[in-house]
Structure formats: structure tokens, C-alpha cells
């Protein structure tokens, strides 16, 4: 039986570089782990044994990298069947993917590309999300991604704002949202909109999990989403606003490289816990 993540659960990414520290961490250091299934399906040897041991001791949320929900190539249904077996085997309480494309007619592009903000793109990606949910036998959550250049809608299509696009996909696909707070801060800076207004416009009832991460200030008015730095003050501030608006949600600290000492990561998790502790259990704003 799959047990949902507790609304006040805090988690870390299960990265190979952190395997020794995660295995040695005292009980209660974190409440769940998150892994990319593509990085662990079929992995054996010492890393596979370490993964299996951690997954047996901690709830394992899964965050996909390669499904390309908005891409032009046919949906990878054989992979989805394989993924379902993986999720079921580990009783994963959550599966999420990016609201993006990462392939074209030639194959994987190994990058997360934005989709055109248009009605046509909404219909395309929502149909693929619905099909993915049917095969997986579960609801999935899609993540609002960071992007640096918007793709113009095709001729004759109705253009949407980013917020309108995200909301339209969630409604038409009837799926959940993985809310990446750092990505809102990055996009709001780079594209000149109000981060709090964007946050307030999201459907709180669909938020299944929250991500926080670090970014790099590349230049005035330009932030780069890196997952390789400590969480910045504007992200902490927006996270606190998200809890105030929507109530507590399971929250993951993303760190993919340039790992600091493990105690520093634990300190950032304690910061998440501090924000959660100040949040009532109910949602204040509809």
C-alpha cells in the first residue's frame, strides 16, 4: 500500500554523490528521498544495493527527467510500463515530471525545453499527461520549469501567459502540480513579472509537492537555475508565502552538484522545517 507524504515532510534528492551520507544519516534527518527513475532502473552493483537499502528505509518520491510530456515524438509508452513496475515496487508516494519537451524527431535532446504558451500546446501536452496517467494508474504532478527564451505560439493559435498556460494544462489534464518556488523566482526575474502574483494565481489544491533550490545571479536581471548553490533569500521568502497561501506541503531541497558538507544541507532542511512550523494546517487563501 502506498502511503502519501505527510504535508510537513521534508526531503532530499537521492544522488550518487550523497549515498554514504544518506545511508549514515541519523533517523529523522529527513522524511523522504526523491530520485529520478531513469538514473536507477536496472542499476546493480554497490550503487544499486545502496539505492535499494535507502528505498526500503525511506519513502521514495520519483521525479522524471526524460518523458518529454510536451515533445513531438510519440509518447514513450514502453518506458511508462517499465516505470509503473518501478513505482509500484518501491511504493512511491509521488511521481512527477517536467512541463517541458526534451526530445525531437531525432531523439533525446538532454535538456528541458519550454513549450509554446498556446491553446494548441495545452491540448497536446494535456492529452499526453492523461495517457501517461492511464498507463501508470496514478495521478502525476507536473513541474513549472525555468526557461530563458519563450517559444512563440504558432500562427493562428491563441497566445497565453505562462500562468494561464500552466493553469490550463493542470485543468485539462486533471493532474497535480509540483511547485518549484525557485523556478518562479528565476522566471520572474528573467522575464519581468511579479513572483508573488504568479504564485497567488496557481491552484493550491493541485499542489502535491514543493521544490526549493539554489540559482546563480549571472547578471543584473538574469538568474540561472543551477541546483548547485544554497537557497537564496528571495526563494525562502516566496516559500514562506506559498505555505501562507496554500498550507503545508511536502517539500524537497534540490541539490544536484557542488555539494556542501552534509551538515549544511541539514541546516537548509532545518530552514524548511522552520517555515513549515510557522504555517497553520489549513489554507488561508483559496
Q: Hey, CA dihedral for 187, 244, 285, 4, is it positive or negative?
A: positive
Chain length of the chain: 286
Q: For every residue of 42-85, which 3-state class applies, written as one string?
A: CCCHHHHHHHHHHHHHCCEEEECCCCCCCCCCCCCHHHHHHHHH
The C-alpha atoms of residue 42 and residue 114 are separated, in whole angstroms, by 30
The backbone torsions φ and ψ at residue 46, rounded to the nearest 5 degrees and listed phi first, read -60, -40
The C-alpha atoms of residue 204 and residue 257 are separated, in whole angstroms, by 30
The backbone torsions φ and ψ at residue 134, rounded to the nearest 5 degrees and listed phi first, read -60, -45
pLDDT in tens, the chain (286 residues): 789 999 999 999 999 999 999 999 999 999 999 999 999 999 999 999 999 999 999 999 999 999 999 999 999 999 999 999 999 999 999 999 999 999 665 445 557 899 999 999 999 999 999 999 999 999 999 999 999 999 888 877 899 999 999 999 999 999 999 999 999 999 999 999 999 999 999 999 999 999 999 999 999 999 999 999 999 999 999 999 999 999 999 999 999 999 999 999 999 999 999 999 998 875 544 4
CA distances from 9 to 63, 69, 107, 248, 262 (A): 16, 27, 37, 9, 19
Contacts of 278 (CB under 8 A, 6+ apart): 240, 243
The C-alpha atoms of residue 262 and residue 241 are separated, in whole angstroms, by 27
State residue 36's pLDDT score. Answer: 98
Look up cell 532542511; give the residue: 269
The C-alpha atoms of residue 41 and residue 82 are separated, in whole angstroms, by 9
The C-alpha atoms of residue 229 and residue 20 are separated, in whole angstroms, by 20
The backbone torsions φ and ψ at residue 236, rounded to the nearest 5 degrees and listed phi first, read -60, -40
What domains does the chain contain, in order, with CATH numbers?
13-18+32-277 (3.20.20.150)
Q: Is 89 exposed, middle or buried (0-12, 13-18, 19+ CB in 10 A)?
A: exposed
Given a contact cutoff of 8 angstroms between Cβ atoms, the answer to whether 176 and 206 are in contact is yes
State residue 109's pLDDT score. Answer: 54
State residue 155's pLDDT score. Answer: 78
Q: Which of 62, 196, 33, 49 is nearest to 138 (CA)?
A: 62
State residue 280's pLDDT score. Answer: 83
Q: What is the rounded radius of gyration, in angstroms, for the C-alpha atoms of the chain?
A: 18
Amino acid at each position: 500500500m502506498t502511503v502519501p507524504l505527510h504535508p510537513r515532510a521534508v526531503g532530499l534528492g537521492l544522488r550518487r554523490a550523497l549515498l554514504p551520507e544518506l545511508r549514515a544519516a541519523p533517523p529523522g534527518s529527513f522524511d523522504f528521498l526523491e530520485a529520478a527513475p531513469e538514473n536507477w532502473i536496472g542499476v546493480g552493483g554497490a550503487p544499486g544495493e545502496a539505492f535499494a537499502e535507502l528505498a526500503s528505509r525511506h519513502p521514495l518520491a520519483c521525479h522524471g527527467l526524460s518523458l518529454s510530456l510536451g515533445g513531438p515524438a510519440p509518447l514513450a509508452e514502453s518506458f511508462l510500463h517499465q516505470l509503473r513496475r518501478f513505482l509500484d515496487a518501491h511504493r512511491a508516494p509521488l511521481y512527477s515530471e517536467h512541463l517541458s519537451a526534451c526530445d525531437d524527431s531525432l531523439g533525446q535532446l538532454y535538456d528541458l525545453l519550454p513549450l509554446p504558451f498556446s491553446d494548441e500546446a495545452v491540448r497536446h501536452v494535456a492529452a499526453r499527461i492523461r495517457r501517461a496517467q492511464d498507463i501508470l494508474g496514478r495521478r502525476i504532478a507536473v513541474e513549472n520549469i525555468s526557461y530563458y527564451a519563450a517559444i512563440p505560439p504558432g500562427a493562428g493559435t491563441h497566445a497565453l501567459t505562462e500562468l494561464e498556460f500552466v493553469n490550463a494544462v493542470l485543468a485539462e489534464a486533471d493532474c497535480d502540480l509540483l511547485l518549484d518556488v525557485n523556478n518562479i523566482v528565476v522566471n520572474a526575474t528573467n522575464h519581468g513579472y511579479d513572483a508573488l502574483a504568479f504564485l497567488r494565481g496557481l491552484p493550491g489544491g493541485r499542489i502535491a509537492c514543493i521544490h526549493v533550490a539554489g540559482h546563480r545571479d549571472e547578471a543584473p536581471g538574469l538568474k540561472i537555475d543551477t541546483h548547485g548553490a544554497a537557497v537564496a533569500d528571495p526563494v525562502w521568502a516566496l516559500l514562506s508565502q506559498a505555505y501562507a497561501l496554500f498550507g503545508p506541503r511536502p517539500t524537497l531541497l534540490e541539490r544536484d552538484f557542488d555539494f556542501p558538507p552534509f551538515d549544511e544541507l541539514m541546516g537548509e532542511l532545518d530552514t524548511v522545517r522552520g517555515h513549515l512550523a510557522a504555517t497553520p494546517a489549513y489554507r488561508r487563501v483559496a
